[in-house]
Amino acid sequence: MPVVSTEQFSHTFWAPAPPGRIHAHLSRPESYVGLSPLVVAVRDIRRTDQAVSYVAVERFRFGPLSWHNPIRVTMTSPVPGRRLTSDVRSPGRVHLVATVDLTPEGEGTRVTEAVTVSFPRLLRGFVLGQARSVQQARAAELVRRMTA
For the cut 90, the answer to whether the pLDDT of residue 78 exceeds it is no
Number of domains forming the structure of the chain:
1
CB 34 within 8 A of CB 53: no
Instruction: Provide the whole-model pTM.
Output: 0.91
For the cut 60, the answer to whether the pLDDT of residue 141 exceeds it is yes
* The pLDDT of residue 2: 60
92-133: pLDDT as tens digits: 899 999 999 999 999 999 999 999 999 999 999 999 999 999
Residue span of the structural domain in which 39 resides: 4-147
7-53: pLDDT as tens digits: 999 999 999 999 999 999 999 999 999 999 999 999 999 999 899 99
If we measure between CA atoms, which residue out of 135, 50, 146, 141 comes closest to residue 97? 135
Identify any residues that bridge with 140 across adjacent strands, giving them in sequence order: none
Cα distance between residue 119 and residue 128, in whole Å = 9
For the cut 70, the answer to whether the pLDDT of residue 1 exceeds it is no
- What CATH number does the domain containing 58 carry? 3.30.530.20
